[in-house]
Chain A
């Protein structure tokens, strides 16, 4: 099959030998599985000498850092600074009794401000969305929780942006530093959320300031990435023109390079804010109050109506923050005609000042515009609950059957099959895949990553994670791929579907749990469904983008060769789109890994569950080992997909 694909005569020979090796390894893996009963125990599960006490070493390292090096004092000092800032924002946003004792700001003022920001950035629609979000929050009586959440974002995001910018600039200045930075960023971006929380709990404790700090740390990597990317993209002529204008290094950086990289840096800001929101919601696990905590409590108590309300709030906030920051990123400067008066050229500032003054004044007269108590709120939880109950009863036969079918016929057999596999066979299989894709190097990379997982001592748990992820991604492929093809049929539809995918991707992962818990209750089926939903979105998106990206000339050539729509799709568009689609598969795997771990709190037996335990017992070593195990799975898939896609791109002449 492989030889048929490679038409290039020079590529045939090495490709053949590569496949031979891969086939050999595959045969070896099959042999190991078939002869499992005869195998020595050391080949079925990692033998004891292979399991190294990584957790103890990490714990020792952390103890050393904390106690002997006194890093604790540094982190505590920083945490206190953050706490002071949190108090300030808490006072302003929801009237916590702290300095400067000014708050709370009337909700109407905040809503008006958000509206004007939206209007200034993009226009009426964004103004309505921004202001509307805050109106919804206050009407639903969630003001305090939402402000608790926002107050953390307001403090954490600037820190992340600043750190990210600084580290990014350093990495760009020193190639050596960048070389060290890259693998760290790769790992950091594939570590599940919980892995960040445990060390923070050790150093800082629990509560809002720990939540803020874990949020800061978690959202720095994308900012570093985008800063680096943006600075590298600045055209050399712009830099040279800066030099020729006699700019010093500092002048060059702050008035030439950073402003020219503005769009990329602002995309970084957008990502930071979205990451912040996702993390703040999850930080409820370490005692961060706000929307996340409420949602967690309500979900655990199966109060669907109220969870849906909070879910909508989080979604609205996410979409609003995303749209606003994106609008800011793509905003281009525009000139005013000469002789424009100050009022016109600063009209947004003027409008804002007037509206804020009006809102303040009105809030004095009508207390409803100042603060709305929960008792005055218009929660719709009861009717939602009623509808949901009715709906659940209505489709109960279907969900019951689906649950039974999935658990008995697919999930349990699949899990047992994964657990049946001797670990040596899994490693041989991965080596075979690696070899087939990227030769010896890739095979070693696969072996390295999974070998380390075997050495961590969490093999069975890891296999359960792998089974859930592979099943969910498979399901996502079966659904997402056809949907993507359907979505790419015409341009109009593609734009619409992409918009929906973009919006869905802004939702913090936690949100996906609400509907599945509603439908399936708290069990494996719910977890798999949530993971599937979360993983399907990038697949649809990249399928559409891949298909749309096929050069028009190729499609015209196919049409003129008399190809039918179907023939064009199978012979021209899909092969050309495949490298892009694989990027979607990659993201899909990453997302499912994250989701499986998050979903652990509704009951799984995989690495996520252990991570939750590590979190509650603040066991840094265990937590990080588990986190790295998850990260390695992601990194291995990432390596394979990237390798394959870049090979494919080269073969297609796209690179």
Chain B
């Protein structure tokens, strides 16, 4: 197995809003809380965040409104200049890029989807999707061919001539997704892409999104305020509060071992059996070889509920995608997740 390559690396990223925030940050001592910073007249939208995102990974940033998640993603794409720390994209400090280099980066590497779509009202679907290609200066014909390709990919074939206001919310967001994919970006930012949609459409779009990701395997930073959505989509979840990351971990870990009280409150009402996978409970094998048919690591506890009840083994082997055994899961532990731990 090759070591995963880090695509985006942020270390100690700060974003403060207020007059001469850099000076304040430079003179700051200790680790002031959100409220202390506010008393000094600044709003701390992002507080000392360090996260690495590896290639092909989907990092979901979860937080309530005002937690700084949207600001943070804008720091990663440098729609906002950060106040302190560094953001590196493929090893390059994006804070050091000049305007031309930044535009080049966005034209070739990054795509972004917005909560309220951010479509250009005066352009039809085709021209909206082709817009980033047009900015790159590609000729009309290639632009059109590529745009049609992505429009087909997001399932809007036949609607190329429609204008945004003639489409439903879900369709508009498909246009937004198509546009962000037109340049074949490596890094894909999605800022609450499905929050403006009604629940049924949201579900459908999530499935669609998972299908796309299966095909494309992009590096993704996905913002949401919906914990269920985060659990459904994420490889890793970063939970933000008052600009700081409370916990950044896999969904299994977040549910099983919440790092702070704040995170625990989120996980309280979650049906853990639907979230936790066999691989999340698997422990390395120390000497004793578990017997019998291994369980696939990506199965959720709920999915194997019947098996757990009927099986008699204390330890059950867990295998990865290729069928190789990666560890063993204690059946009792799994049953506790399924029915809730005995009081």
Taking Cβ atoms with an 8 Å cutoff, the residues of A that contact B are 235, 237-238, 240-241, 243-248, 251, 255-256, 259-260, 262, 332-338
CB contacts (< 8 Å) of A251 on chain B: these are 135
- Residue-wise, chain B 106-132 has the 8 Å CB interface mask toward A (1 for contact) of 111011101111111111100000011
Contact (Cβ within 8 A) B161 A262: no
Q: In whole angstroms, how far apart are the Cα atoms of A244 and B120 in the complex?
A: 13
CB contacts (< 8 Å) of B111 on chain A: these are 244
Contact (Cβ within 8 A) B115 A237: yes
Q: In whole angstroms, how far apart are the Cα atoms of A246 and B114 in the complex?
A: 15
Q: In whole angstroms, how far apart are the Cα atoms of A237 and B113 in the complex?
A: 10
Q: In whole angstroms, how far apart are the Cα atoms of A333 and B123 in the complex?
A: 8
10 contacts between A and B (CB under 8 A): A235-B118, A237-B117, A241-B119, A243-B106, A244-B77, A244-B110, A244-B180, A246-B132, A246-B136, A334-B166
CB contacts (< 8 Å) of A256 on chain B: these are 120
One of A241, A247, A255, A335 near B161 (C-beta < 8 A): A335
The smallest beta-carbon distance between B8 and chain A, in angstroms, is 15
Nearest CB in chain B to that of A251: its residue? B135
Q: A332-B163, A335-B124, A338-B158 are in contact. Are A243 and B116 (CB under 8 A)?
A: no
Q: In whole angstroms, how far apart are the Cα atoms of A244 and B179 in the complex?
A: 10
The smallest beta-carbon distance between A338 and chain B, in angstroms, is 7
Q: A243-B106, A245-B131, A246-B106 are in contact. Are A237 and B79 (CB under 8 A)?
A: no
Q: A244-B77, A246-B132, A247-B135 are in contact. Are A260 and B161 (CB under 8 A)?
A: no
CB contacts (< 8 Å) of B131 on chain A: these are 245, 255
CB contacts (< 8 Å) of B163 on chain A: these are 332-335
Q: In whole angstroms, how far apart are the Cα atoms of A450 and B123 in the complex?
A: 52
CB contacts (< 8 Å) of A255 on chain B: these are 120, 131, 134
Task: Assess whether B266 is interfacial by the CB under 8 Å rule.
Answer: no
Contact (Cβ within 8 A) B122 A260: yes
CB contacts (< 8 Å) of B114 on chain A: these are 237, 240-241
Task: Assess whether B201 is interfacial by the CB under 8 Å rule.
Answer: no
Contact (Cβ within 8 A) A248 B103: yes
CB contacts (< 8 Å) of B135 on chain A: these are 245-248, 251
The smallest beta-carbon distance between B292 and chain A, in angstroms, is 51
Contact (Cβ within 8 A) A246 B103: yes
- Residue-wise, chain B 167-198 has the 8 Å CB interface mask toward A (1 for contact) of 00000000010011001000001000000000
CB contacts (< 8 Å) of A335 on chain B: these are 124, 161-163, 166
Nearest CB in chain A to that of B166: its residue? A335
The smallest beta-carbon distance between B235 and chain A, in angstroms, is 23
Contact (Cβ within 8 A) B112 A246: no
CB contacts (< 8 Å) of B132 on chain A: these are 244-246
Q: In whole angstroms, how far apart are the Cα atoms of A255 and B120 in the complex?
A: 9
Nearest CB in chain B to that of A248: its residue? B103
Q: A237-B118, A245-B135 are in contact. Are A333 and B124 (CB under 8 A)?
A: yes
One of B117, B120, B165 near A332 (C-beta < 8 A): B165
Task: Assess whether B146 is interfacial by the CB under 8 Å rule.
Answer: no
Interface residue range, chain B: 35 or more
Task: Assess whether B74 is interfacial by the CB under 8 Å rule.
Answer: yes
Q: In whole angstroms, how far apart are the Cα atoms of A334 and B166 in the complex?
A: 8
Contact (Cβ within 8 A) B120 A259: yes
Nearest CB in chain B to that of A241: its residue? B118
Nearest CB in chain B to that of A246: its residue? B107
Task: Assess whether B104 is interfacial by the CB under 8 Å rule.
Answer: yes
The smallest beta-carbon distance between B21 and chain A, in angstroms, is 18
CB contacts (< 8 Å) of B117 on chain A: these are 237
One of A237, A244, A259, A338 near B106 (C-beta < 8 A): A244
CB contacts (< 8 Å) of B179 on chain A: these are 241, 245
Q: In whole angstroms, how far apart are the Cα atoms of A335 and B136 in the complex?
A: 26
CB contacts (< 8 Å) of A246 on chain B: these are 103-104, 106-108, 132, 135-136, 183
CB contacts (< 8 Å) of B120 on chain A: these are 238, 241, 255-256, 259-260
CB contacts (< 8 Å) of A259 on chain B: these are 120-123
The smallest beta-carbon distance between A389 and chain B, in angstroms, is 56
The smallest beta-carbon distance between B231 and chain A, in angstroms, is 26
Contact (Cβ within 8 A) A237 B116: yes
Which of A248, A251, A260, A333 has its CB near the most chain B CB atoms (within 10 A)? Answer: A333
Which of B79, B114, B118 has its CB near the most chain A CB atoms (within 10 A)? Answer: B118
CB contacts (< 8 Å) of A241 on chain B: these are 112, 114, 118-120, 176, 179
Contact (Cβ within 8 A) A240 B161: no
Nearest CB in chain A to that of B103: its residue? A246
17 A-B pairs besides A246-B136, A248-B103, A251-B135 with CB distance below 8 A are A238-B118, A240-B114, A241-B176, A243-B79, A243-B106, A244-B111, A245-B132, A246-B108, A246-B132, A246-B183, A255-B134, A256-B120, A259-B122, A332-B165, A335-B162, A335-B166, A338-B161
Q: In whole angstroms, how far apart are the Cα atoms of A240 and B180 in the complex?
A: 12
CB contacts (< 8 Å) of A244 on chain B: these are 77, 79, 106, 110-112, 132, 180, 189
Nearest CB in chain B to that of A332: its residue? B165
Q: Which of B51-83 contact A (CB under 8 A)?
A: 74, 77, 79
The smallest beta-carbon distance between A242 and chain B, in angstroms, is 8
Contact (Cβ within 8 A) B74 A240: yes
The smallest beta-carbon distance between B191 and chain A, in angstroms, is 8
CB contacts (< 8 Å) of A332 on chain B: these are 163, 165
Nearest CB in chain B to that of A262: its residue? B122
The smallest beta-carbon distance between A345 and chain B, in angstroms, is 10
Q: A244-B112, A245-B132 are in contact. Are A333 and B122 (CB under 8 A)?
A: yes
The smallest beta-carbon distance between B77 and chain A, in angstroms, is 6
Q: In whole angstroms, how far apart are the Cα atoms of A251 and B160 in the complex?
A: 23
Q: In whole angstroms, how far apart are the Cα atoms of A246 and B104 in the complex?
A: 7
Q: In whole angstroms, how far apart are the Cα atoms of A238 and B120 in the complex?
A: 7
Q: In whole angstroms, how far apart are the Cα atoms of A256 and B110 in the complex?
A: 19
- Residue-wise, chain B 253-272 has the 8 Å CB interface mask toward A (1 for contact) of 00000000000000000000
Q: In whole angstroms, how far apart are the Cα atoms of A260 and B136 in the complex?
A: 20
